[in-house]
Chain A
Amino acid sequence: MRKGAIPALLSHPTCWLIMKSGYCAEALSAMENRSSSFPTEKPLLMAVEDDDNIAYLLQFLLEREGYSVRMARNGNEARQLIDELPPPQLVILDIMVPYFDGFELLQLIREKSDWASTPVIMLTAKSQERDIVRALDSGASDYIVKPFLPEELKARVRRWVRVVGK
């Protein structure tokens, strides 16, 4: 699981671009700054999202924030990650994903002893009161409705990672 700074940089979507086309030089320097200020291992997050573009966006936003992100694109992949990974700092769950939905995954996480206290943020297009209530009742730490505010998402992630860090 341990990732050095350089390979992480290479796997970063913008960095490929930098290498290829030389755009966004400042993004590169921002990255370097960050990697120097976080010399240790990056905090690990897991996210489950089936929409291509949103998955890409999540990964992009969170990696820029200095997290290492494992994406699952459906319930099966998510289950596998839950089985294999050490508990991450935080999990972001979409509700409507194939195979196993967000509620089932949430239950799975809460039942696994070392994951039980991992904060889980639901990020979903289901905006009805009863869905929100149900998610929070069954152990979600937070609930964000799509379309979402990227800054808000980042702030909430920071907050929950901090809570756990204490």
Chain B
Amino acid sequence: MNQYADMVLVLELFFLIYFALLNGGYLFLNAVAMISLKRQMDRQVYADHPRIYTALKPPVSLLVPAYNEAATIAASVRSMLQLSYDEFEVIVINDGSLDGTLEELQRQFGLVPFPGACRSGIKTQPVRGMWYSTVHRNLRVIDKENGGKADSLNAGINASRYPLFCAVDADSILQRNSLDLIVEPFVEDDRTIAAGGTIRILNGCKASDGFLVSVGLPNKLLPMLQIVEYLRAFLFGRLGWSPLNAMLVISGAFGLFRKSSVIEVGGYRTDTVGEDMELVMRLHRIHRQKRIPYRIVFVPNPICWTEAPESLRVLKNQRMRWQRGLSESLLMNRTLLFSRNGGWVGWIAFPFTFVFEWAGVFIELAGYMFIFAGFWLGIVSGAALLAFAVVSVLLGVLLSVSALLMEEMSFHLYPRYRQLFWLLAMAVLENFGYRQLNLVWRFHGMLRWLFGTQAQWGKMTRSAKWNRSIRPDKS
């Protein structure tokens, strides 16, 4: 009996320490993020004043992979051509679409075939042809065999002209000044090799022809829950790690990279569903190993709007894929862990992500089971169970509310009191069901990854529309 109690005590301690470290970690990130956000906001005096567009800023290649996007591609491309930035090119990579995406582009932009000599820096699926627009001189289209998003981006990198490239999802909307803002870290510090911007949820907003007309909240529960989730992920998940140069992910929907650095490390990997996260981890790992000074940063103010899944089924698929991408990225870059020149990223961020976002799925599930089993067996008192549940919900609410506070300090995108009420309600509500559901989905994703067959997964990525790769890290 005593031995049994000891075991319970050890387990209990284990879960408590896990719980304390997890929340302590997030609170710490939260503090770092608050300070860095405050500083960023202070420095933005007169940021909306007219600027001189100058050739002194580095030109950017915008890479837009498109797979079966015929319905929306023209509007997206048109809005991207309107970004306020001095010199940039838009390269659409048609990844063997079956729905006439290329024909739509030809119709809308007067494409003419063009002899192309692509770099062969990164191996990709064969390129079928290169097209130039007669209407917009900075628009090109690459037509290639289907090979997935990562492969398309690699083909885009090979064809791109300029030293920086920006990976953008075809169905997302970039705020007009976002390119100008996301280039800032590259202008300020030449060690910068990658920068990520904020992703916001488009559901509930009004958009027309690839432009955002007005910001609003969705009237459905699921996307609304995701709004709070994204605020948390971007406002302190990213903003917390970024000043420590330890940010492990830049979302595939909107990120800017130094081309030479990416080619140096071999481009995007095509054998993972989390190519965006994997690339950033690999950039960290290789630069750390070779001891090349570098910076990977998050810039909160450039905003990219993207549609979030509205149905449980699609959301579940997305979360399962994220978990799989996370697992693969961690595995592929495992040597970053506690590496000699690892710094914050190798010694803190990577283990933190591994323990709390990867292994955390198992630990949290086990924790739930332990506590309920304990209660059922009479080892855990009802009062203790209640107290523990209340504290964990309260901490969850605290973290979400602090993200809302940061949003209020910075962007103030949902100005009505009613919107505030709903967001606060979500911060509470997500603790009852949504988080647990996510946990189960992620667990499911892990099982698929551990036991699923390669062939099945290969088929999945090709047939599935690359359903947004925004990935807010769990927090």
Contact = CB atoms under 8 A, between A and B. Distances in A.
Interface of A: 51, 54, 75-76, 96-99, 101, 104, 125-128, 134, 146-147
Nearest to A97: B82
A99 B50 contact: no
Interface in B40-81: 50-55, 78-79, 81
A150 B82 CA distance: 27
Contact of B82 (A96, A125, A134): A96
Given A96-B84, A101-B81, A125 B211 contact: no
Given A99-B82, A128-B55, A128-B86, A146 B50 contact: yes
A127 B81 contact: no
Contacts of A127: 52-54
A128 B81 CA distance: 18
B209 A99 contact: yes
B223 to A, nearest CB: 25
A58 to B, nearest CB: 13
Interface of B: 50-55, 78-79, 81-82, 84, 86, 135, 137, 176, 209, 211
A51 B84 CA distance: 12
A98 B50 contact: no
Contact of A98 (B53, B86, B176): B176
A101 B82 contact: yes
Shortest Cβ-Cβ A-B pairs, 5 listed: A96-B84, A125-B53, A98-B211, A126-B53, A101-B82
16 contacts: A51-B50, A54-B50, A76-B209, A96-B84, A98-B79, A98-B176, A98-B211, A99-B78, A99-B82, A99-B211, A101-B81, A104-B135, A127-B52, A128-B55, A134-B137, A146-B50
A22 to B, nearest CB: 32
B50 A125 contact: yes
A128 B52 CA distance: 10
Contacts of A147: 50
Given A98-B176, A101-B81, A126 B86 contact: yes
Q: Most chain-B CB neighbours within 10 Å: which of A54, A98, A134?
A: A98
A136 to B, nearest CB: 15
A80 B238 CA distance: 42
A134 B51 CA distance: 21
A128 B51 CA distance: 14
Contacts of A128: 53, 55, 86
Given A101-B81, A101-B82, A125 B209 contact: no
A131 to B, nearest CB: 9
A124 to B, nearest CB: 9
A72 to B, nearest CB: 15
A125 B82 CA distance: 14
Contacts of B84: 96
A98 B51 contact: no
Among A76, A99, A101, the one with the most B-chain Cβ atoms within 10 Å of its Cβ is A99
A101 B137 CA distance: 13
Contacts of B52: 125, 127
A147 B209 CA distance: 30
B55 A98 contact: no
Contacts of A54: 50
A96 to B, nearest CB: 5
A72 B176 CA distance: 18
A101 B86 CA distance: 13
Nearest to B209: A99
A145 to B, nearest CB: 9
Contacts of A98: 79, 82, 176, 211
